[in-house]
Amino acid sequence: MADRLSQLQDAIDQMATQFFSALRYIAVIDDKTTFDGTSPPPAAKVELARDLIFKSKQIEFLITSLPGIGVSEDEQQERLKSLETELKEAEEERCRAVQEREAAAEKLDAVIRRLRRF
């Protein structure tokens, strides 16, 4: 699954395509009747408008779900420091696990060599 920024970019690209398609439909394909405001608009125009509204709500949701929205710069820097500390701890743990694995592999190798002598 794509990250939020990629999803947002895709949604904006899709909305631009929808705008273009809607304008092209209205300019070229739609009948040339004018909308006077008293009768309901043609169903196709309603559908186009509904799709654009839906896409704009999707974009708004993606924007509000971006990390850092509503968080001050100081809070973001503190979060980065915290994440850096967690990363260092995880790297140290990974190094210990690699050393343990290598030690276990050496012990296993020694046991296998002893068994081959018999």
- The model's pLDDT over 24-70, given as tens digits with 9 standing for 90+, comes to 888 887 666 666 666 666 788 889 999 999 999 999 999 988 877 77
pTM: 0.55
What average pLDDT does the segment 79-106 reach?
Answer: 96
| pLDDT band at residue 84 under the 50/70/90 scheme | very high
Query: Do 55 and 15 touch, CB atoms closer than 8 A?
Result: yes
| pLDDT band at residue 111 under the 50/70/90 scheme | very high
User: Where are the alpha helices (H) located in the chain, listed in sequence order?
Assistant: 4-24, 43-64, 73-117
